[in-house]
Amino acid sequence: QVQVVESGGGLVQPGGSLTLSCTVSGSNFRRLDMGWYRQAPGRQRGLIATMTFGGTPWLVDFLKGRFTISRDNDKNTVYLKMDNLKVEDSAAYYCAVMGQQGTMMGDSRWGQGTQVTVSS
């Protein structure tokens, strides 16, 4: 019933920018803590950013200054703005419901992922 859908990925040159969107349907988005993960080939999926339902952001240290997480509750959407992209940022990016609500949702907490490729 709950659906998490990411969009906005694509091919971008090093130094470029891209904004990912994640829309959640079938739930009360305003009550959800949200997060972004990324997974490069051969690596485990890692958490890089979170945004609580109250609007408190967290970003992994090595992405500070380049990535920004935000949300728009009226649009049931969480965003990940990526600036000054580097080749090593290439990965599949996933949105997920965090916290207790995410745990209750099981696998449905995950979106299908959107691919970001940074290349010249």
How high does pLDDT run on average in the chain?
97
Q: pLDDT value at position 104?
A: 93
**pLDDT tens figures, 22-78:** 999 998 999 999 999 999 999 999 999 999 999 999 999 999 999 999 999 999 999
Whether the pLDDT of residue 1 is over 90: the answer is no
**pLDDT tens figures, 42-53:** 999 999 999 999
Q: pLDDT value at position 17?
A: 98
- Between the alpha carbon of residue 94 and those of residues 34, 120, the distances in Å are 11, 24
Residue type at 88 in one-letter notation: E
State the Cα–Cα distance between residues 75 and 14, nearest whole angstrom.
30
Q: pLDDT value at position 109?
A: 96
Q: pLDDT value at position 108?
A: 94
Residue 85: partners with Cβ closer than 8 Å, 6 or more residues away? 12, 13, 14, 15, 16, 17, 18, 66, 116, 118
